[in-house]
Amino acid sequence: MPLSGHTTVAGIIGQPVEHSRSPAIHNAAYAALGLDWVYVAFPVAVGAVAAALHGFAALGVAGVNVTMPHKAAAAEHSDELAPTAATIGVVNTVLVRDGRLVGDSTDGVGFLDAAREAEIELRGASIVVLGSGGVARALVHALGPIAAQLVVAARRVDAAAAVARLAPAATAVGLDQASDAVAAAAVVVNATPIGMRGEAPPFDVAGLDASHIVIDTVYAPPETPLLAAARARGAQAVNGLGMLVHQAARSFTLLTGRDAPVEVMWAAARAAE
């Protein structure tokens, strides 16, 4: 649809953000529903999140998604937080409502939607989540009520423990103990950026076998070293594209008030590979 003075603007902030597939995904969804909207990637430097968000509010931007490394800062500088965002302290969506910044998080529910679509049963599973950042916080909060056992593993045990407190029955270990936790689990989730640049898995993959499901929240490259190692050992390996699409679908509905055309968004995500 041609841009005009009536076009509604939305977007994504991050640093870097040029690689993001979110513009392709959201713009395809707008086109499919005939919405006079456009979605843009905005590179925002560390330390400039507050200025960017308040600038969006002043300009009448409908809202933005938030990616690394700004999820905590965006929560801090929101005027109001939805319940999940208030609990986990990070956001991936900021809505502009009557000039106020409302922070929300669709990462956790998007992850659950993606797992459901992939027919991965998480309820009652023993799960290890690797990481202590914003994505890990969202996933642990979402998985806490349904996992039979939940272990958070991070380089610093105190950081892992802070995330584990988001799920009452979760425990925390350092990465030096992650291999044992992984071997005993059914599902392993990498909620770190490790693998985006070809980095090796942060634990000994010898404990993986055909009984494991390994989910990487990284979607580019489509097969990280962790996923390649998991496949080589017979495990089911799933990359982060499904989570990307489904968190985007949830954000799309928050922003527009319309049901997301998920299949269109999937097609755009794949085409952008």
Active site amino acids: 71
Residue 202 to residue 49: CA distance in whole angstroms: 30
Residue 239 to residue 68: CA distance in whole angstroms: 18
- Residue 117 is classified by DSSP as H
Outline where DSSP puts E strands in the chain.
8-14, 37-43, 63-66, 80-81, 93-97, 100-104, 126-130, 149-154, 171-174, 187-190, 213-216, 236-238
How are strands ordered across the β-sheet holding 80-81?
A: 37-43, 8-14, 63-66, 93-97, 100-104, 80-81
